[in-house]
Amino acid sequence: MKREITLRVNNKDEVIVIDDADTLLEVLRDRLKLWSVRESCGVGACGSCTVLLDGRPASSCFLLAARTTGHDIVTLEGLGDGAELHYIQEAFVSQRALQCAYCTPGFILSVKALLDETPEPSDEEIREYLAGNLCRCAGYADILRAVRVAQDKKKSLAFKE
């Protein structure tokens, strides 16, 4: 069944017509052209489709779009202002934690949620929090370093405010 819904995506209200069976991933990519949201496993196990839903990581590949009305959805496109990279993106680049970059958007959004929730996580907390994001290029040491660089950058940004 088709219906019109309003989604709050990257601080913008988007009015779209969906089918009840449409996943959030399909709507974000196919209708809103937000290419950072990627499909890999299709069952919410790899993290490539990760978005932030009310600030928490969520797998958009098996989340029905109709169930996300009234929630704030953030994709990688919504992190920065468009002119400059977000500090977490900068950390991933500086630490070469992106190799093929297919999984990178999901990792970056998960790191954002982690640092918002736990400003000074231990290595174990980082590993546990990112367990739902898989990197097939095996760049986990680089990713861990990128989290530490992002953590330090976030502290310095907070100090300046």
- Phi and psi at 18, nearest 5°, equal -125, 165
Q: Measuring CA to CA, which residue among 117, 130, 123 is closest to residue 148?
A: 123
Helix and strand numbers (H, E) in the chain are 5, 5
Mark whether 7 and 67 lie in a shared domain: yes
28: domain range? 2-78
The tokens of 107 are what?
């990792």
> What is the pLDDT at residue 51?
99
125/154 same-domain check: yes
Q: Based on the fold, state whether residues 67 and 115 are members of the same structural domain.
A: no
3-state secondary structure of 30: helix
Flag whether pLDDT at 84 surpasses 80: yes
Q: Is the pLDDT of residue 122 over 70?
A: yes
Do residues 7 and 74 both lie within one domain? yes
E strand segments, the chain: 2-9, 12-19, 50-53, 56-59, 72-74
3-state secondary structure of 12: strand
Reported as a pLDDT band with limits 50, 70 and 90, residue 157 is confident
Residues 120 and 144 in one domain: yes
Same domain, 7 and 62: yes
What would the pLDDT profile of 13-72 be if each residue is shown by its tens digit? 999 999 999 999 999 999 999 999 999 999 999 999 999 999 999 999 999 999 999 999
- Residue 158's pLDDT band (boundaries 50, 70, 90)? confident
Q: Which of 78, 102, 117 is the last residue of a domain?
A: 78
More confident residue, 49 or 80: 49
Domain boundary among 30, 57, 78: 78
96 and 129 in a single domain? The answer is yes
The sign one gets for the Cα dihedral 59, 60, 65, 68 is positive
Q: What pLDDT, on the 0 to 100 scale, is given for residue 161?
A: 47
Cα separation of 88 and 81, whole Å? Answer: 13
User: What's the structural domain count of the chain?
Assistant: 2
* Model-wide pTM > 0.85: yes
Helices 87-94 and 104-117 cross at an angle (nearest 10°) of 120
* Last residue in a domain, options 24, 43, 78: 78
CATH number for the domain spanning 62: value is 3.10.20.30
